[in-house]
Amino acid sequence: MKYCKTKDLPSQERLRQLFVYDFESGYLSNRINRKNQVAGARSGTIDHRGYRRTYVDGATYAEHRIIWVWVHGSIPPGLYIDHINHHRQDNRIQNLRLVTPQENNLNSINSARSQTGYRGVSHISSSGKYRAQIKHQGHNQHLGMFNTALEAFHAYSLARAKTINQLNNGIHYA
């Protein structure tokens, strides 16, 4: 299966020939009969990561990216489409926004592998303390050692907010 980057997305005109978008539900439906999908049926399938994917002209695309282009015309180079509420199948346009790669990483949910339950916090068993750190521009930035996971998470949260503000110069994209 071929996964396509933003630059490979079909034009807004082509997408509007193929699909109808329901702003209320966030569903993308076929405007015409396509392959094994009939006109009026919801387009696409759910992939192994929980995102809806749709086949267009020989390639498979993330549905939220198709919807962004269907509504707005394009995705600016270097920006991603983020699900604000973290629900990967909620493709209502008001739940989608443009973000930088750094913002997208900072906005990701806590890993299921987290031993502390907090993003950016790890437990140091030798000292019994909790380390807070944040990744910025490819490097881990140490934020300090703390007696509790909650204190460490507070430090991480402050650094995260500061980093996002710096990345945007105080501007939010959507």
The model's pLDDT over 85-108, given as tens digits with 9 standing for 90+, comes to 889 999 999 999 998 887 777 666
Q: What angle do CA 146, 106, 52 make, to 5 degrees?
A: 135
CATH class of 109-168: alpha beta
Query: How confident is residue 118, by pLDDT bands cut at 50, 70 and 90?
Result: confident
| Per-residue tokens: 145 | 């050692």
Q: Is the pLDDT of residue 11 over 90?
A: yes
Q: Is domain 6-99 in CATH 3.30.420.280, yes or no?
A: no
Entry pTM: 0.68
Q: Domain spans of the chain? A: 6-99, 109-168
What is the C-alpha separation between 74 and 65, in angstroms, rounded? 9
Mean pLDDT of 142-165: 87
